[in-house]
Amino acid sequence: LSGLSARAAMRTLIELGWEPRLRGEGSFVSRQSVAPGTPAGEGGVCLLQLTRFPVEPQTVEEGEP
């Protein structure tokens, strides 16, 4: 989801049965708490860190600020 717009990332997560939660400001996803390739059937919450400009994909941990 990193690099996608917040709107597109949220839509994708909802369609896959995940609950998106946004953190930060901006229109692009810079990091996500769920590792890419995680089976969609697991569901749960995915934290999306937002930024104003697209960046390289990274994973954010639950406890990170």
Tens place of pLDDT per residue across the chain (65 aa): 888 999 999 999 999 889 999 999 999 999 899 887 777 776 789 999 999 987 765 556 666 55
Q: How far is CA 56 from the centre of its chain?
A: 13
3-state secondary structure of 13: helix
Give residue 34's pLDDT: 84
Nearest in space to 47 (alpha carbons), one of 36, 63, 57, 60: 60
Coil, strand or helix at 18: strand
Sheet holding 28-32, edge to edge: 18-24, 44-51, 28-32, 58-59
Q: Is the pTM of this model over 0.85?
A: no
